[in-house]
Chains A and B, each alone.
Chain A
């Protein structure tokens, strides 16, 4: 798995192989503060986007991201490297999301974070950092369709949403998701099919002009 090479600050992180990641983890386990900061820079954007779509609002996503890194820092001495660092971090994030959802009353997230405002009261600007390989076809998609998909994702059950986001958005493999969620690969595939099917129905309705 090739890791992202650009941090949230735009700083290039020289971690692009599993062995490099393992060395980074070893340094962090040896109380190298700089190494852990590199890990934070490396995963902050990915985890933030995952958490944002899982919980539905930036404030909660920010709180949870801090908690993810805190727990990771505290648990790093016990990290044995059997799972990849990303799998481990997503697992922490997912567990925190589950706790978060249990704590809060079950309610439908009707406010889309797409139309949110930042701390200065200005409309949030979506950025497109080069965290992923740009796909020429993506540029053809309009914003409206993306909003339909975002809305459809928010309507999924947490179980289906987790699998969909980890596979289709965060690009984890079936095996990695199975390890994150501690479920069989067959269950991952089943949930993914269900989730995609539900999203697809919304998109189909949108394309037929039945909904926006």
Chain B
């Protein structure tokens, strides 16, 4: 078995994952191989150093700050703000309905029957003039065309 294979056993041995026979074989090789001995020492020192790394305590003020942030985040928002949002929808609906109603009222005033008749008359006059009939028909109305039986 070559050195590379033994090097793979270093960490298994440190973690107690080698069988007794494998561990014994590894030790025998390490004792006989200076290069592997150096690597073995380095692996063991690394293993111990990693497990012995100092551990800091989280600052107490940090936990207090976190606690405060969580409490702030979990505090329900003011009821007024909630009602404002809820009330906004029907208020906007009423406003839209009023605007629509107003628009209808204005348009219906424009489209009053008298207004419509007047508008139609004007349209017919314009048409009549275009047909060069204005000079002998002073008050042309739609009825004019019917009563006169005018056709182009």
Contacts and interface: CB of A to CB of B under 8 A. Distances in A.
Contacts of B63: 8-9, 40-41, 44
B49 A149 contact: yes
Contacts of A9: 60, 63
Given A66-B69, A137-B48, A200 B74 contact: no
B59 interface: yes
Contacts of B71: 33
B73 A74 contact: yes
B127 to A, nearest CB: 73
Interface in B28-56: 38-39, 41-43, 45-56
Size range of the chain A interface in the assembly = 35 or more
A200 B7 CA distance: 11
A172 to B, nearest CB: 13
A139 B51 CA distance: 11
Contacts of B45: 141, 145, 203, 207
A67 B66 CA distance: 8
Given A44-B58, A45-B55, A149 B50 contact: yes
Interface string B116-134: 0000000000000000000
Nearest to A168: B50
A199 interface: yes
Summarize B's interface: helix, strand, loop or mixed: helix
A73 interface: yes
Contact of A131 (B42, B55, B60): B55
Contacts of B42: 200-201, 203-204, 207
A90 interface: no
Contact of A149 (B39, B46, B58, B62): B46
A109 interface: no
A37 B69 CA distance: 12
Nearest to A131: B55
Contact of A128 (B55, B60, B69): B55
B66 A138 contact: no
Contacts of A207: 38, 41-42, 45
Interface string A173-212: 0000000000000000000010010011101100110000
B62 to A, nearest CB: 5
B65 interface: yes
A150 to B, nearest CB: 7
B57 A135 contact: no
A199 B49 CA distance: 10
Nearest to B52: A138
Interface string A136-176: 01111100011011100000000000001000110000000
Interface of B: 11, 38-39, 41-43, 45-60, 62-63, 65-67, 69-71, 73-74
Given A8-B57, A146-B53, A196-B43, 8 more contacts: A8-B63, A45-B56, A70-B66, A129-B55, A141-B49, A199-B50, A200-B39, A203-B42
